Structure 1
Amino acid sequence: MDAKNSQTKPGMPIAGTKYQPYPQVDLSDRQWPSKRIEKAPIWCSVDLRDGNQALVDPMGHDRKARMFQLLLDMGFKEIEIGFPSASQTDFDFARWCVENDQLEDDVSLQVLVQCRPELITRTFEALKGSRRPIVHFYNSTSELQRRVVFGKDVAGVKQIAVDAAKMITDMAEAAGGGYRFEYSPESFTGTELDVAAEICNAVIEEMKPTADNKLIINLPSTVEMSTPNIYADQIEWMCRNLDNRENLIISAHPHNDRGTGVAAAEMSVMAGADRIEGTLFGNGERTGNVDLVTLALNMFTQGVDPELDCSDIERMKAVYEYSNQMVIPERHPYVGELVYTAFSGSHQDAINKGMKAIRVANKPVWEVPYLPIDPRDVGRSYEAIIRINSQSGKGGIAYIMQSDYGINMPRGLQVAFREYIQKITDDEGRELPSKRIHEAFMAHYVDQPEGRIKFVDHHTYPQGDTKGVRVVTAEITDGGETKRIDAKGNGPVDGFTNALSAYLGTKITVENYSEHSLYQGSDAKAIAYVEVSYEGGRMFGVGINTNIVAASLEAIVSAANQIIGSQS
């Protein structure tokens, strides 16, 4: 390799000099990789605090109230409602939540506070009268922040946490009890594990959790610094090394700086975490918190009850976008506009066949290629599963025509119509909506405004005593001029085809024929499909009429007009 090619791009430093790999955890007997998630963790939404503090324009009361109601309706039992000591807005909203008489007894309001006496005092003022609130206190413990931000050693940082723990337990007892507690060594992923355990154990000793009032130890990936398996190792290591483990709730709070927040959260549950903090659709600082909706629906698709109601994902999306003033990307898991949509021809064909197989089998198990979840389970319809552009195939077009309009095209017609549609999409360079596809089908095969021949009427009668032979007399228009044609055949279709062949001077033979009912009720119509051969090849035709015989003859005229068009 020459020197030029061995250099990094201009402006980029040599990675190994400026950036160092994150150290691995010495846990040779780790157990989490062989575990599987079999039940939902305790969920805690931090949308109203962690998510809110990351917004360009933080929520006012109305936007917060809308989000709060959604979280309650989804079934969250722990909701971090704000940082009441940080602003009057957060304090007032905390008071509104406490005084909200619609809260169920099993819902805990959670508030965040730094380990500072004046802020703790203000926090308890905000929670006065609340039922079993969670006071979530924290201080940063990482080596970098100890050295650069606080200028303290481990003992100094530990003392901050212990002093706050004592003050909080004393104030809770003075207030009459009923409080729950959560401690976070902020920047846990940047803290040496033995230091994190030492500080957490000191807090545990001070707060003395019991089986009836367990202490939440929250281990945040405040900044995602490593691959998710290392975070899982850290969680398992802490679960082994924390005192009084049976009276603790281990909580994970992953962020998404490396784009692997969901994987880190799932692995942390496998590693022993009992609880997950995050936000709807992953709003939060920098690249966001872990996405609780994705986590819940990932569990749902594995047969695990997520214990969150995500059945109205459109409402969830609407409230998220209103409250956060942010737009969810089209490719966001489960909720994005296009996540249940296929444009690729091979994908569309597989989905079309999978949907048919589901209907035929009538089994409860969901098995459709490329759709890991039934869109209806989250309140989506099947309307947008398949959308048509220049990459689409016959299966996708056939699915739209059948699901939206009840037109069940035979395979040969699917191929022919797909070629016709692809010419349109290639020319226009954009997606064709369902309505446009149907209009193109009707114009090309049924209405044929440019077609030379039009079917008007027909009559059949037997030819004397000749068994199985009938005479067909038909009225057509040719270029607007009425014509009468007739011929013999073994039935209306055969006789009409013979008459039209003689009139056009081109032998037409019906090779394949099918029909089905198109609508239900008093206005029911039949749709007939024919594939005819002629000297130049094969052509398809379609007819729609309340009379099945008339629909069949219209289909033959439809094919004849395309033959005429191909010869002109």
Structure 2
Amino acid sequence: MAEEKIYIFDTTLRDGEQVPGCKLNNQEKTKLALKLEELGVDIIEAGFPISSPGDFQSVEEISTVIKNATVCGLTRAVQKDIEVAAEALKKAVRPRIHTGIGASDNHIKYKFNTTRENIIERAVAAVKLARNFVPDVEFYAEDAGRADLVFLAQLIEAVIAAGATVVNIPDTTGFCLPHQYAEKISYLVNNVKGIENAIISCHCHNDLGLATANSLAGAIAGARQIECTINGLGERAGNTSLEEVAMAIKKHPETGFTTSIDSTKLLDLSKLVSDTMRMPVQPNKAIVGDNAFSHSSGIHQDGFLKEATTYEIIDPREVGADVSKIVLTARSGRSALAFRFRKLGFDFTRDEVDELYAKFLEVADAKKEVSDEDLQELAVSLKTV
């Protein structure tokens, strides 16, 4: 099977920065943009230029330093937005304007107080204007996840005819189930005239915890760009997690997909984003959480120590982690205890481990986790008996 590339569009610096408390200064944004380029991200959404002078400067600066990735600026379907974004992107080697408007009846009625016909007119005008400035224009149909399918197809067909090179189908509220989102993408693939002239993009939010699943379902249905953020940061419950998408594709070659992401850089960048944006990563976060490669259950530990693949589908080194961790708790077994003692230089017999295990459980019942210092004390107690 020939591999098909999935383009990775990172919006950590735009959607990720919308998290309360995660505001970045220009220097921080530029540093992260360079690291995203090193990671292998194809498109970096650098900001929303018209939103503030600081955002304009960030997009302008990132456009200057990024040499390989596409640099993208977000706009509304508003003339001034597009003109300001074009100015901010002037120095970019590969500039992209990302413009769009609401597509669901909910947004059309309550947000814009207009008609479907007017939405199409405004969308087409925005794309045409953006194409006057850059050859690469992405159109987002906001709240596409809840949009009427026939109207959505009409809107997407109209913007492609107007010159859109990428069409973004956002599940803005994180509403869709994976099969529903896939069906939406499939419908567009099969019913939009000229769809072969544009890349379909997935931009999924995580309100129901389905952002990664929806994005992958969209790709399988025909999308070839996935919009995501490091650590899944983003508005409300966050966006599709870049590290989850990258590793899911890497671990499932049967999809026929590939990305340009250097997975060995994922953990370091995750930590840098967490520190810079002052947003801790939950310990059980997939791929980059502190517990992603930790084993505390005796049954799991025993299997892992015999053969790592019994309980790990990812080698920690694939994402830049050092080694898996055997964490000793009251649920741990003798094999894990013996393993940890050997790590400390104690090679006890089976009978000695049995004797130590009873004492170990007393310590483990009193503490959440047994430390190396606790093990040292246990080892000494055995030697002095």
> Normalised by the size of structure 1, how large is the TM-score?
0.64
Partner SS state of residue 49, structure 1: coil
How much has 1:239 moved relative to structure 2? 1.0
Partner of 1:421: 360
Q: Deviations over 1:386-430 (max 9, x none)?
A: 11111111111122122x23444444433332222112222x232
1:102-113 equivalences under 5 Å are 103-104=66-67, 106-113=68-75
**Structure 2 partner of 1:202:** 158
Q: Report if the CA contact (8 A) 1:81-1:111 is conserved.
A: yes
Instruction: Assess if the C-alpha contact under 8 Å between 2:356 and 2:378 holds in 1.
Output: no
Q: Hey, what does 1:133 align to over in structure 2?
A: 95
2:264 partner SS: coil
Question: Is 1:79 equivalent to 2:62 in the alignment?
Answer: no
Partner of 1:155: 117
Mapped partners of 1:342, 1:155: distance in 2: 57
Residue aligning to 2:313: 372
1:119 aligned to which of 48, 58, 81: 81
The answer to whether the 8 Å contact 2:42/2:260 transfers is no
TM-score when normalising by structure 2: 0.94
Aligned counterpart, 1:328: 281
RCO higher in structure (CA 8 A, sep ≥6): 2
**Structure-1 residue corresponding to 2:208:** 258
The answer on whether the counterparts of 1:297 and 1:306 sit within 8 Å (CA) in structure 2 is no
* 148-157 or 404-413, which deviates more: 404-413
CA positional deviation for 1:314: 3.9
Report Cα offsets for 1:434-459 as digits up to 9, x if no partner. 24213311x1332x1xx4xxxxxxxx
Which stretch shifts more, 110-119 or 237-246?
Answer: 237-246
Q: Shift of the alpha carbon at 1:336? A: 0.9
Distance 1:307 1:206, change over 3 A: closer
1:119 to partner: Cα distance: 1.4
**Are 1:166 and 2:122 counterparts?**
no
- Distance in 1 between residues matched to 2:127 and 2:73, nearest whole Å: 15
Q: Whose helix proportion is higher, 1 or 2? A: 2
| Alpha-carbon displacement from aligned partner over 1:239-281 (angstroms, at most 9, x marks no partner) | 1112212211111111111111111111111111111001011
Higher strand proportion (structure 1 or 2)? 1
Check 1:409–1:352 CA distance in 2 against 1; reply closer, same or farther (3 A cut).
farther
Deviations 1:9-59 (A, max 9, x none): xxxxxxxxxxxxxxxxxxxxxxxxxxx996551000001111112332411
For 1:114 and 1:390, how far apart are their aligned partners in 2? 55
Question: Structure 1: any 5+ residue segments left out of the alignment?
Answer: 1-35, 173-177, 210-214, 356-367, 452-568
Tell me which residue corresponds to 1:282. Answer: 232
What is aligned with 1:294? 244
1:186 aligns with 2:124: no
From 325, 328, 333, give the equivalent of 1:388.
Answer: 328
SS in 2 for 1:99: helix
2:341 aligned residue (401, 408, 422) = 401
> How many angstroms does 1:298 deviate by?
1.9
Cα pair 2:268 2:320 within 8 Å, conserved: no
Compute the RMSD of aligned alpha carbons: 2.0
Match of 2:28 among 34, 58, 63: 63
Tell me the distance in 2 between the aligned counterparts of 1:369 and 1:416. 28
Is the CA contact 1:387–1:434 (under 8 Å) kept in the aligned structure 2? no
1:225 paired with 2:175, answer yes
Q: Aligned equivalents of 1:301 and 1:205: distance in 2? A: 37
Specify whether residues 438 and 376 from structure 1 end up closer, same or farther in structure 2 by C-alpha distance, changes over 3 A only.
farther
Distance change >3 Å, CA 138–CA 298, structure 1 → 2: same
Counterpart of 2:91 in 1: which secondary structure?
coil
Q: Paired residue for 1:444?
A: 381
- In structure 1, the residue matched to 2:368 is 430
- The gaps in structure 2 that reach 5 residues or longer are none
Deviation per CA, 1:110-156: give whole Å up to 9, x if none. Answer: 11111111111111111223223111101011101111221211101
Whichever residue aligns with residue 155 of structure 2, its letter is I
Q: Name the residue aligned to 1:91.
A: 56
Letter matched to residue 385 of structure 1 = K
Q: Distance in 2 between matches of 1:249 and 1:408?
A: 59
Any conservation in 1 of the 2:266–2:319 contact (CA below 8 Å)?
yes
Matched, 1:310 2:263: yes
1:144 maps to what in 2?
106
**Identity value in percent:** 26
Q: Could you tell me how far apart the structure 2 residues matched to 1:168 and 1:308 are?
A: 29
- What CA distance in whole angstroms lies between the structure 2 residues aligned with 1:267 and 1:314? 25
Give runs of aligned pairs for residues 3-42 of structure 1, distance below 5 A.
Answer: 39-42=4-7
